[in-house]
Amino acid sequence: MSAPSSKVNKNVLPAGFFQFMLYNRVILVVVQVIFNHLIPDHQSDGFQSPYKHFTVNSSMLDTVVEFTLGGFSRWDGQYFLHISTLGYTHENCLAFFPAYPILLRFPAICLSPFSRYKLSDWNTSLLSSLLINILSFVIAGKYLYLITVKLFGNPYFAFRTWKLFCFSPATIFFLAPYSESLFSALTFGGIYYCIEYKFLLASIFFSASILTRSNGLVNIGFLLFFVAKAAFQTKWKHLPVLIAEFLISVVITVVPFLCYQYYAFKLFCFHNPHNLPEVIHSHLVDGNFTVRGEKIPVWCDKSIPVSYSYIQSHYWNVGFLRYFEWKQVPNFLLAFPALLLVVLYALFYVRENFDIRFGSNPFKNGHSPVHPIFRRDAGVFAAHSIFLGLFTFFFAHVQISTRLIGSSCPAFYWIMCWLMDDKGKKSQGPKNRTSMEQLSLLREQDLSASGKCVRFYCFSYVVAGTAMFVNHLPWT
């Protein structure tokens, strides 16, 4: 990739960076409140935690939190809040990795005076989720900006990439009690330290990402690529050291995943007393859930007792082509823009590198030189995004493509930025005194047709996604 100009300070963030991200989150919380109370809730068949059957008395503070943040506690958010307050009570919960629910408890400890006297554990966790998600989102935005400017040496392009991240089509999942914000911060942080060749530090970020979401395992590919790149750049002089560092990094990255699987095995594969409140236990039994410590799950008898793959297949029908049904066509349409963007990025990458490899003139037909995001060194990002896109299309619930790709793939934002940046601007980004007009995606002027499509895609998914999600409509 092109070396950044020596005049560019790659670690300087645009003025107003943090303020705008906080302002952006506050506005979206307000939008959520409006949609939640303006539109009647849909009666869905999604999981509803029995916790509220367990709590009888609610305070004025509970009422305030429910009124302002209650729209966020939908769909999988119910699972994360349930695990945070009650633990891994039944088998389905094991599909949700522990880092995020555990992290929700730390702010809850700080808010313990409210929890003890005024605020329920559930609403304490809900409030904690918002604080953690906003902090994680800001950190993720910082790392995405630094990754982009470090690789491509163009602060203007990095600035626009960051703006697109602030209005991501997956925005609602960065605010609701989902693990996407935390996962983005950890993944982008790990990628940044890989670029800096700080592999042990990167492995710590990636290990935490694996404890957050299962697709964190894919991040090992970044370690492999950048270790190989470091070896090539040093002409293999430090190969033994790099191999040792890579192996140690992989161990650091994978061990937490193995520890979680062992924890699940110990928790569910033996008859142990669960000490659950009777109201909670009765609700789970009535719902035909496999309560921990009672009925031994099928996966416990496997030669390699890994819970995750069995639970995804058994309870969520995840598997090759299982989602290819006529009734799922709306979900395929919902995922189509995100999948199209990563496919476009991969196709453009292959085309440009095919031309480069065979010595074609990049200036032929008046075209500009190859954009840095399509140069050969960006191959790991093309491979990462297309792998996740193909996996969600063929194996998973396809509608998760938007949040899966949007929370882990820098290339998703780069291709959108490239489509908006057809004029090839080379300015060094916003001036020191950055106004809200410069920061707002709505204020972008003279956009091409593709740029307007990108902007419409982002804003329509932010608005429609928020409206549908908070009212329990199918936006998952």
- Tens-digit pLDDT profile for residues 9-40: 556 677 678 888 899 999 999 999 999 999 98
**Rounded-to-integer distance, Cα 435 and Cα 190, Å:** 31
Cα of 465 vs its chain's centroid, Å: 15
Is 84:125 a contact under the CB 8 Å cutoff? yes
**What's the sign of the alpha-carbon dihedral 147, 148, 154, 155?**
negative
Q: Which token pair is 456?
A: 């419409």
Has residue 466 got a pLDDT over 70?
Answer: yes
Has residue 409 got a pLDDT over 70?
Answer: yes
Q: What pLDDT digit, counting tens, does each position of 70-94 carry? A: 999 999 999 999 999 999 999 999 9
- The torsion angle over the Cα atoms of residues 266, 268, 270 and 274, rounded to 10 degrees, is 100
State mean pLDDT over 316-323.
92
Check residue 473 and give left, alpha or beta (phi > 0: left; psi -120 to 50: alpha). Answer: beta
Segment among 97-111, 359-373, 388-402 with least mean pLDDT = 359-373
pTM given for the model: 0.91
| Neighbour-count burial for 370-388, b at 16+ CB within 10 Å, e otherwise | bbbbbbeebebbbbbbbbb
